[in-house]
Amino acid sequence: MTPLTLGFLVMGPLSGYLSDRLGSRGLATTGMVIMAAAFMMLTLLPANFSYPVFTTQILILGLGMGIVSAPNTTAIMNAVPAEYCGVSSGMIATFRNIASTLSITVIFSLVTVGLAAHLLGTLLGRLTVAGIPRDAATAASHLPPAALADVAAVVSFLRGGRVVHEHDAVGNAEGLAELAGPEIAVLEAERAD
């Protein structure tokens, strides 16, 4: 998130200076177009994106946010009578805080719903393709995330950093089944109770 902040820090003051000279409408529109383009680029990122590409897109988003902020605030403050500037400023801050909180809540709700709908099936399919016996794969796909992360960390450590591809995963499948065994036994005992 550092590139986003850097973009905002660079363009925020510059945008404020320019909005005093040029007016707020053109800058706010330009910033919104840049933000829309950055969001579109982010939606088109593949799952295996490279960090420099992601960083550049986040930086562009921050630049757009910085361009919008000052002209937008200026336009709002200029639209209210002078005796209501304090109230207007407080409302701007309130709405920004509410929007920030709601956006985090909404995105994590969408991610949770998406993961709940697809993660178990995808994980089961990928474990089965990797050569793990179906019973062990089913049990592992139903592990809580923390237990699954523990198993994955141990398997990753034991394979010594070597990339495991589907064609050479059979030996590792047996190891994963062994490692997952105690976790699966605990879960089955808990379910029986």
Task: Check: CB of residue 55 under 8 Å from CB of residue 45.
Answer: no
Percent of the chain with pLDDT over 90: 28
pLDDT exceeds cutoff 80 at 165: no
List pLDDT tens digits, range 11-56: 989 998 998 888 888 898 999 999 999 999 999 988 788 889 999 9
- Looking at the predicted structure, is the pLDDT value of residue 180 above 90? no
In the chain, the amino acid numbered 155 is V
Kindly state the helix (H) or strand (E) to which residue 108 belongs, with its residue range.
helix 85-129
Residue-level pLDDT at 155: 63
List, in order, residues 6 or more apart from 127 with CB less than 8 Å away.
Answer: 136, 137, 140, 141, 176
Q: Is the pLDDT score of 181 beyond 80?
A: no
Q: Give percent of the chain with pLDDT exceeding 70.
A: 74
Cα–Cα–Cα angle for 54, 55, 56, rounded to 5 degrees: 90
Domain-wise residue ranges, the chain = 2-79, 117-192
Using the predicted structure, report yes or no on whether residue 118 has a pLDDT greater than 90: no
**pTM of the entire structure?**
0.57
Question: What's the CA gap between 46 and 35, in Å, rounded?
Answer: 19
The pLDDT of residue 34 is 95
Closest CA to 76 of 94, 88, 59, 58: 88
Q: pLDDT confidence of 113, banded at 50, 70, 90? A: confident
Question: Identity (one letter) of the amino acid at 8?
Answer: F
Q: What is the pLDDT of residues 100-110, one digit of tens each?
A: 899 888 888 88
Predicted local confidence at residue 164, as pLDDT: 46
**Residues 90-94: what's their mean pLDDT?**
92
Contact 71, 13 (CB under 8 A): no
Place 193 in a pLDDT band, splitting at 50, 70 and 90. low
Quick check: helix, strand or coil at residue 78? helix
